Amino acid sequence: MAPSTLTALAEEKTLQTSFIRDEDERPKVAHNKFSNEIPVISLKGIDDESGVNNGRRAEICEKIVKACEDWGIFQVVDHGVDAQLISQMTTLAKQFFALPPEEKLRFDMSGGKKGGFIVSSHLQGEVVQDWREIVTYFSYPIRARDYSRWPDKPEGWIAVTQKYSEKLMELACKLLEVLSEAMGLEKEALTKACVDMDQKVVVNFYPKCPQPDLTLGLKRHTDPGTITLLLQDQVGGLQATKDNGKTWITVQPVEGAFVVNLGDHGHFLSNGRFKNADHQAVVNSNSSRLSIATFQNPAPEAIVYPLKIREGEKAVMDEPITFAEMYRRKMSKDLELARLKKLAKEQQIHAEEAAEKAKLETKPIEEILA
C-alpha cells in the first residue's frame, strides 16, 4: 500500500521498504553528473517558411529529425512559450505540493478517479513504489475536462494551467508537423492520426529522499503517447539511455527549455525510425525536485499502425490496433514483468532458506552448538 503523502517519510533517516528497488534497477549515475549529449535545439525561425529563412526552418527540422532517430529525446529553446507563464506554472505547482496533506488528499485519486493527487503512480498493482507525488489533469479534448478533479488551490492555478495547456498543445502540434514532413507526409499527418488529440498534464514532485541510492523517483519507462514535453527545474534527475539501453546519462537541465520525448505511439507511427526514449527520474537527499510532463496522446479509439513503411523495411506491428488496446497491452506487460520479478525474488529467498536449513541438518550437533 502506498502511503497517502511523502511529507512525513521525507523526514525519516531511512527509506520505507516499499520504495527499495532491486540492485539492478537502482541509479547508476548521480542526479547531478550532467551530460550534454542530448541535443539542445533553438526553434527560432521555425515558422518562417519564406525566402531566406526557409533555410533556417530546414536546418531546424534536420536537427529535430536526427535527434529523434538517434535518441528519441532532445531539448528545445526559443520555443515561443512565454517565460512568465512557465514561471507562474512552476511557482503554483510548488505551492500545491507544499499544502498540508489533508488539502492535497481532497483530490486523492487512489480509488481510480481520473485526475487529482496521488503518491507514486497512477498504475494499480505496482510492486515497488516510486518516490514521487503527482497531481494530474486531463486537459484535452476540452469537452472532456472535469474541473472537479482540478485542484482549486493555490488560487489562480486553474487559469494558469488552462493557458499552459493551450500553449503546449500549439508547440506539440508544431513539432508533429516537422516529424510528419520528415516522414514524407503532409504536415497534418501525425495530428490526424491522433484523431482528436488528448493532452494530460502530470506534475511530478520528488521530495528530498533519505536514501536516494536505493530508489527511483520514477522507474524506467517509455511514455506511451505520441510526444511528451517536459519542463524540469535546475536540480537534475532526468536520465536517458544510450548504447541500446546499457548506459545511463543524466540530462543537463537548461533554464526555460522543454525536454521533448518521443513515446511508443510516435515510434510505431514512424515504423521504428524515431526512437521511443527510455528514461527514468532519480532523486537526491539535498533538495526536492519538480518536473511537469505534458503528454500528447492520440484519442483512445485512434488506430495505431505505421503511417509509412520505407522500402526494404518490415512493419514493426503485426496488425493495426486502437491506442486504448496498445496502452492496455503495455500496462499489463509492465505489471506482469514486475510480478515475475517479485516471484523470482521470493523463490530465490526460499531456495536460500532451504539450502541453509539443509546445511544445518547435515551438520554434527557439536558444530552447531560450537
Ligand X SMILES: O=C(O)CCC(=O)C(=O)O
Ligand Y SMILES: O=C1C[C@@H](c2ccc(O)c(O)c2)Oc2cc(O)cc(O)c21
Q: Which residues make up the interface to ligand Y (CB under 6 A)?
A: 122-123, 136, 200, 202, 221, 223-224, 295, 330, 334
> Minimum distance from CB of 370 to ligand X (Å)?
54
Cell numbers for 49: 517558411
Q: List 292's β-bridge partners, or say none.
A: 203, 231
Binding of Fe ion by 223 (CB under 5 A): yes
> Minimum distance from CB of 114 to ligand Y (Å)?
11
Query: Which of residues 63 and 200 has its CB atom nearest to ligand Y in the complex?
Result: 200
Query: Which of residues 130 and 223 has its CB atom nearest to Fe ion in the complex?
Result: 223
Instruction: Report 225-244 residues binding ligand X (CB under 6 A).
Output: 230, 232, 237-238
Rg (CA), the chain: 23
CA distances from 64 to 45, 54, 116, 132, 233 (A): 14, 15, 33, 31, 23
Return the closest-CA partner of residue 219 out of 289, 128, 134: 128
3-state SS class at 364: coil
Binding of Fe ion by 130 (CB under 5 A): no
Binding of ligand X by 284 (CB under 6 A): no
> Minimum distance from CB of 185 to ligand X (Å)?
27
- DSSP, residue by residue, 263-295: -HHHHHHTTTSS----EEE---SS--EEEEEEE
> Minimum distance from CB of 43 to ligand X (Å)?
21
Q: Which does 200 bind (CB under 5 to 8 A by kind): ligand X, ligand Y, Fe ion, none?
A: ligand Y
Query: Which of residues 122 and 153 has its CB atom nearest to ligand X in the complex?
Result: 122
Query: Which of residues 26 and 330 has its CB atom nearest to ligand Y in the complex?
Result: 330
Count, residues in the chain: 370
> Angle at which helices 83-97 and 157-182 pack, to 10 degrees?
120
Binding of ligand X by 291 (CB under 6 A): yes
Query: Which of residues 123 and 344 has its CB atom nearest to ligand Y in the complex?
Result: 123
Query: Which of residues 46 and 277 has its CB atom nearest to ligand Y in the complex?
Result: 277
> Minimum distance from CB of 232 to ligand X (Å)?
5
> Minimum distance from CB of 16 to ligand Y (Å)?
20
3-state helix, strand, coil in the chain (%, to 5): 40, 20, 40
Query: Which of residues 197 and 229 has its CB atom nearest to Fe ion in the complex?
Result: 229
Which residue among 190, 202, 257, 262 contacts ligand X (CB under 6 A)? 202
Return the closest-CA partner of residue 68 out of 170, 181, 167, 165: 181
Q: Quick check: 137 and 92 in contact, CB under 8 A?
A: no
Binding of Fe ion by 264 (CB under 5 A): no
310-346 in b/e form (b: 16+ CB < 10 A) is: eeeeeeeeeeebebeebbeeeeeeeeeebeeeeeeee
Query: Footprint of Fe ion on this chain (CB under 5 A)?
Result: 223
Binding site for ligand X (CB under 6 A): 202, 204, 218, 223, 230, 232, 237-238, 279, 281, 291, 293
